[in-house]
Amino acid sequence: MRKIITIILCAWCCLSASAQYSIYSVSGDVKIKPASAWVKAKKGTAVQLQDSICVGNNARVQVLNKQTSQIFESTGSGVFTIIKLITNARKQSGRVIAELNKEMYQNARADNSRSVSFVGASTRGDEESLADSLYFCIQSDLADAEPLPEGLIIKPIRKKKLFYLKLDNQSDKGLYINLLIRNTRTGEKACAYTLDLYEQPCLYIAPKTSLSLEQFRFVASKECEYILWATERPYDSNRLQNLLSSPAPTDHINSTGVKVFAKKMIP
């Protein structure tokens, strides 16, 4: 049975020290404290990770990472730092994706002969080594990646300057997907979909299933390149992002020999 499943979560922004952030949108009473005094948050205002932000009741704020074009959103009211806001968004995203993945797995398991194992309940035990291999593939800009499996359809949905992805997996393969964002000016790379929860190390889309990532929103930037990629095996997405954020060798080594599929997106 084909199911349409929409997730609601906040996109995570790469925590790179060199990343530059600004207020993208404000709704309600939101103040920032970049120095010693509170000022009203306005669209376009530059912020740093250590800056304090006060989000009033029923208020909302979105922050843009200019390096990767990613947008992330506050998850509640209170006073906290920008980096805390990001951490809260990641935790909320992780919980929602864990529930989404669980439903995906259950749907796939119920589909007669398909054999699908829960990540964390019945793992291969090599998610970290696979993440290391994928890192080297990504450092080479996925040069050796194969075309996406036939039946996996990706459609960027534009809403003014923002976009998100809708995926329709009509293939017989369950896939672990991610979106690589590469800043063509600085060379910085980030994976859009990452999780801290070891039980659910990456985003999964089951066979014969559609997936709308409406709340993973990005600014369509001319400075950024977007590549949707997928594997047939689970990997540790958080470890992969940590590798991308830290200096490391750039040799292209795929020690696991796992197939990587990829397609450049034009939002």
And the tokens for 129? 């080594």
Residue written as token pair 């979105």 = 62
Evaluate whether residue 198 is within a structural domain.
yes
- Whether residue 131 lies inside any domain: the answer is yes
Q: Tell me: pLDDT of 90 over 80.
A: no
3-state secondary structure of 22: strand
236 part of a folded domain: yes
Interval 126-144 mean pLDDT? 80
Residue 151 resides in a domain: yes
Q: Which of 39-48, 131-140, 239-248 has the highest mean pLDDT?
A: 39-48
Beta bridge partner(s), residue 57? none
Task: For residue 113, give every residue at least 6 positions away whose Cβ sits within 8 Å of its Cβ, in sequence order, or none.
Answer: none
Torsion sign across C-alpha atoms 90, 26, 161, 219: negative
The overall average pLDDT reported for the chain is: 76
- Cβ atoms of 203 and 101 within 8 Å: the answer is yes
* C-alpha to C-alpha distance for 131 and 241, rounded to whole angstroms: 9
* Closest CA relative to residue 154, chosen from 262, 241, 38: 262
CB 91 within 8 A of CB 72: no
Has residue 93 been placed in a domain?
A: no
Please state the rounded mean pLDDT for residues 231-257. Answer: 72
Give the SS3 label for residue 135: helix
Inside any domain, residue 170: yes
Say which residues have a Cβ less than 8 Å from residue 108's Cβ, sequence separation at least 6: 114, 116, 174, 206, 207, 209
For 209-231, write each residue's pLDDT tens digit.
888 887 678 888 888 889 999 98
Indicate the pTM of the whole model: 0.69
Average pLDDT over residues 195-211: 72
Q: Which residue has the higher pLDDT, 218 or 54?
A: 54
Domain residue limits at 175: 115-265
Pairing of β 46-47 and β 39-40:
unpaired
Torsion sign, CA atoms 135, 140, 142, 145: negative
**Cα–Cα distance measured from residue 84 to residue 212, given in angstroms and rounded to the nearest whole number:** 27
pLDDT at position 100: 64
How far is it, in rounded angstroms, from Cα 162 to Cα 104?
A: 27
The answer to whether residue 220 is domain-embedded is: yes
Q: Is residue 210 part of a domain?
A: yes
Pairing mode of beta strands 152-159, 175-183: unpaired
**147 falls in which pLDDT band (50, 70, 90)?**
very high
Q: Cα–Cα distance between 64 and 85 in angstroms, integer?
A: 12
User: How does pLDDT run across 154-174, given as a tens digit for each residue?
Assistant: 999 888 788 888 889 888 888
Mean pLDDT of 48-75: 88
Residue 2's pLDDT is 39
* Domains contained in the chain, number: 1
CB 230 within 8 A of CB 23: no
N-term to C-term CA, the chain = 30
Nearest-angstrom CA–CA distance, 263 and 267: 12
CA distance 179 to 261: 12
